[in-house]
Structure 1
Amino acid sequence: MNLDEFLYKLHYETDQITPPDWQVNWEDAPLPYKLYEGLPVIHLDSGLPVSFSQKNKPTLTDLSHFLSYSYRITQVSQTFPSMETSESWTTYRRFVPSGGALYPNELYLYVRLEDFPTGIYHYDAAHHRLVCLREGNFDSYLERSLGERCDITSCFAAVFVSTFFWKNFFKYNNFSYRLQSLDAGFLIGQMLEVGKRNGFETCVYYHFLDSAINHLLGLNESEESVYAIMPLAKDQNMKWFDTIADQSLTTEQLSSELKSLHHKHYVRSKEIRPYHMLLNLNSACKLRSFSSINVYNEDVQKDVDGPVLTLPLVEPLTYPFNTACEKRYSPGLDFALKPLTTEPLAYLLNETAATSFYRNDLDQNKKSLTSRISIRFATNSVVGLQNGMYEMDSSCFQLKQIKLGDFRTALQDGLLSDFVNMPQIPLSFNISGSKDHYRKMFGYRGHRIQHMEVGILSHKLLLAASALHMNGHPILGFDVPYYDELFNLQQMGRTSLLQIPIGYYRPHPRLQGHLHS
């Protein structure tokens, strides 16, 4: 099938993109982390601080804590046998959510700290260490890969978020394409939050010369590719969006300046089945020069009808960040209905709206994320708010009433399998965006950008829920046309991108241990 047909079926007819005879070979599953072989390593500080220092000059310890909170393996969890399965299940978890706890993304860094070898490193999440891939100064190469829009010399590091295709394709087949972008967004959202608490200045770049960056990191593009780049700095007056200096520079011209890397790494899988559609889409997404780069200039269409309700005014939520990270997980069938007031709802929406003003190269700070991604939710047993469906208006912190009623059965009916008990959930959030998936401005690259932005916005919602002693469960396994009609999205050119039920929960029967000091 062609790419347009694939993306349509990926979203609306997911059963049509996976072969009917697809069998998951768990005995040959890949590792959920990448392990390089035979390269020099630098071990990082093993601690996980309760608070951050916010020094004027970041150190390796500060970078270590940033990586710990962002993507380190922090927990081992063993689930006991249940009515659904007769086997126990062990997973290695991190502070960010991931579909099936498979973590298809990897982190690489360009580090330029004082008294530290400048160069390109891979973050080994399993051992919490940096693996040196390429030593040397690559300021000019990286700046030109970003279109010379960012002064890398003013940064102390740059983080590259990649996707390793096989790590969740082995289970989800072609549906992994949506999960990979969404997981990358969750990870970026966590890094933005950790960076803010460290006093780092951050910016997310979605546009760069893909193959030049992959070449710098030594990635094999048939198995892995970078999706986003986040430079880290301390200079509050730094310029992030200079005009592109050389629009004619191509990936081939830049890549020819560096020799290729051929480092060995261990995957564990003995058979890696082909994923042609993922590679075709990744190729179609590539930016080969900056001659056609666009700035986002459209808004998600909003409804104008319906009563408006004002939420209680709340201050920014303060909470122990480490505790919220450690307690965050997806409850599944463990949700337990308890009465909820409008104050926690106000905190949830206030925190989510606040994170929408993140620095990025899509709109260059001209618009908020909620101008592109919208939040609607259905309520059940929220004291002071009628059961119904509402939309958040972040510009004035108000709710717009869409329709009243009890939608619990309808929400349950829309799930592709009963892995969440909707009747026990007070809030079910629907994250939606343009049905075009940013295609007019960014081509096929727009689909993965849109899903990364959904992940960024949703992760803040999940963190706030954990801080309020609740939790959320991100869901992609639902009937999209059914939910679009249920949430009145079709007439506005919007579509459901993610569903997140949030509520209180009972402890799950499992053994869990921390893997950090």
Structure 2
Amino acid sequence: MSLENFLYRLHFDTENARPSDLEVDWGDAPLTYKLYRGLPVIPLPEEVPLSLVDQTVSQEMSLPQLGAWLWYSYGLTQISQSLLTTTSADAGSELFLPLVTNRRPVASGGALYPSELYVYLKLSSIPPGLYHYDVAHHRLVQLREGNFDHFLSRALGGSCPVQACFGVAFVSIYFWKNFFKYDEFSYRLQGLDAGVLLGQLQEMANQFDVTTAVYYQFLDRAINTLLGLSDDQESVYAVVPLSLQTEGERHSHSSAQWTERGEVTASELIRELPEQKYVQVMRSKRMRKYPALLQINQAAMQESTHSFTHYSDELESKWSRRSDERILLPRLQKPSYDLVQYCRERFSPEMDFIRRKTDQDQVARIMEMTMSALLYGNDLGKNLEAASRRLSLFVSIHQVEGIQDGAYAYDPLEHALYPIVYGDLRARLQDGMTLDNVNLYHVPLCFHVVGNRDHLINQLGFRGYRIQHLEAGIVVHQLLLAAFTCGMGGHPLLGFDVENCDDLYNLETEEKTCLIQIPVGHYRPRARFQGVLHG
């Protein structure tokens, strides 16, 4: 099967992206976190602050601040037990089974958390080097000791002044962690999951007044080898430098000394590293093969810095005004919110949505705050107009004060909604659900993050698909946070009829497609036992 057909099936033929007769072996399920054995560890402070106020980093990030940043980015924050309703085949009666999950500050498909988080740190409180964030024990596991500025600068093509940063974060995907349940469909989930984590890392950096950027282009095999990752198990998807300088100050450190050297290859960098092997634990004993994932991951890799490509928005079509009619949304002050409270209360409603008053101001806040996520630093270009050609936001609205029911396109530059079709669209959206786990009749807002139908492959090759989904994940994270500031919740969904929604918004004529669906509304608390996992 060609890789183009593989991606088409993931997006438009999702039922065949996962075998219909697949029986998930939950008894052999992998851990949702990675464990190392026999390596030096640095425990992080067990007492995590209950507020991030006054946590600004001044001269250097302290160990307690580092612990709080990692904890609220990707730590095991809660354990939750609820009841799973199922039907007995014998008696035809309902059974209630206990469902225990470890919760983190970010959303993840099936709560499987396929990402792992690594950091390169240069702090006086710990030896400089590369570390894995051991989620299960809230500690750092040392992978390599030493200064790797020169190595990382070249692996990033000289575009990032690593020497001006106090650290670098790496977000990877461990393929088996959600392939065991979702099979090949996991490839679509993985980019979105990693993108949501990137959004949380940036939000946490803002809380500490740390400057970040996201690098999507780097020498994959070199970075993976540096971290001791096996390409057939795990691969880094994004690199995030951390600095106490502004972005302009960081880039005032000239990187020309690297770019002038010409081409750098992954093979050349790998030869500089002493080989290191690690013993790791993921619990599964019987792992199925996933050749399609390995094939497309290999096709997306960059072997040479000459393969790095600048995304050009000039090649993309302009945002087309669909009608002269529009709704100018009110410009509101950015809301103040407690990120710790969001991390503690984050919840993905399913059958828990309830009808409650929703107004135009709430829609305006969610729209503006969500699309502001695309103003982050990256190696693609952070201009909002260019970014909005890669990703855009559409919404189907029902019973919102001041807005007529219908489907709308959002223009972030004008902060305006453009109507596409009027009417109650709930039945159409509900019929397009492949799994009736959300009652859309109780949802006033159903958002769709929309991207290029070619998944950026024409410009960025097969790496474009994962970049598109990583950015979509960042947008989804911000949308969920924006909904929280309005007292609402959202449930990201891939179980929807993409072609139905593309037709609803007339996207195919513009070579666009819906990437993910997020119903947003008010919800009732679910009956569950829940406890925090910090001191």
Same fold (TM over 0.5): yes
* 1:305 equivalent in structure 2: 322
Distance apart, 1:52 and its partner CA? 4.3
Counterparts of residues 248-397 of structure 1 (less than 5 Å): 248-298=263-313, 299=316, 301-306=318-323, 307-363=325-381, 365=383, 367=385, 369-397=387-415
* 1:398 equivalent in structure 2: 416
User: 2:86 touches 2:97 (CA, 8 Å); kept in 1?
Assistant: no
Distance apart, 1:16 and its partner CA? 2.2
Structure 2 SS opposite 1:86? strand
In structure 2, how many angstroms separate the alpha carbons of the residues matched to 1:247 and 1:7?
Answer: 34
Q: Cα–Cα, structure 1 residues 88 and 301, in superposed 2: closer, same or farther, change >3 Å? A: farther
2:251 pairs with 1:239 = yes
User: 2:80 touches 2:528 (CA, 8 Å); kept in 1?
Assistant: yes
- Tell me whether 363-372 or 261-270 shows the greater mean CA deviation: 363-372
**Which ranges in structure 1 are unaligned for 5 or more consecutive residues?**
none
In structure 2, how many angstroms separate the alpha carbons of the residues matched to 1:29 and 1:416?
Answer: 24
Distance apart, 1:302 and its partner CA? 2.6
Letter in 2 for 1:401: P
In structure 2, how many angstroms separate the alpha carbons of the residues matched to 1:99 and 1:122?
Answer: 22
Structure 1 SS opposite 2:354? coil
Q: Cα–Cα, structure 1 residues 501 and 247, in superposed 2: closer, same or farther, change >3 Å? A: farther
Counterparts of residues 136-285 of structure 1 (less than 5 Å): 136-236=146-246, 237-239=249-251, 242=255, 244-285=259-300
User: 2:76 touches 2:136 (CA, 8 Å); kept in 1?
Assistant: yes
User: 1:327 touches 1:466 (CA, 8 Å); kept in 2?
Assistant: no
Letter in 1 for 2:100: T
* 2:502 equivalent in structure 1: 484
In structure 2, how many angstroms separate the alpha carbons of the residues matched to 1:52 and 1:73?
Answer: 23
* 1:62 equivalent in structure 2: 65
Distance apart, 1:294 and its partner CA? 1.4
In structure 1, how many angstroms separate the alpha carbons of the residues matched to 2:65 and 2:260?
Answer: 33
Distance apart, 1:17 and its partner CA? 2.5
In structure 2, how many angstroms separate the alpha carbons of the residues matched to 1:369 and 1:314?
Answer: 22
* 2:37 equivalent in structure 1: 37
Structure 2 SS opposite 1:226? strand
**TM-score, normalized by length of structure 1?**
0.97
Percentage identity across aligned positions? 44
Letter in 1 for 2:49: L
User: 2:319 touches 2:389 (CA, 8 Å); kept in 1?
Assistant: no
Letter in 1 for 2:267: E
Letter in 2 for 1:72: G
Distance apart, 1:429 and its partner CA? 0.2
**Which ranges in structure 2 are unaligned for 5 or more consecutive residues?**
88-94
Letter in 1 for 2:68: H
Count residues in correspondence. 517
Distance apart, 1:311 and its partner CA? 1.1
Structure 1 SS opposite 2:394? strand
CA RMSD after TM alignment: 1.5
Distance apart, 1:501 and its partner CA? 0.3
In structure 1, how many angstroms separate the alpha carbons of the residues matched to 2:255 and 2:175?
Answer: 33
In structure 1, how many angstroms separate the alpha carbons of the residues matched to 2:170 and 2:54?
Answer: 23
In structure 2, how many angstroms separate the alpha carbons of the residues matched to 1:10 and 1:239?
Answer: 39
2:531 pairs with 1:513 = yes
**TM-score, normalized by length of structure 2?**
0.94
* 2:19 equivalent in structure 1: 19
In structure 2, how many angstroms separate the alpha carbons of the residues matched to 1:444 and 1:338?
Answer: 43
Q: Deviations over 1:411-451 (max 9, x none)?
A: 00111110110000000001111011111111000000000
In structure 1, how many angstroms separate the alpha carbons of the residues matched to 2:531 and 2:260?
Answer: 51
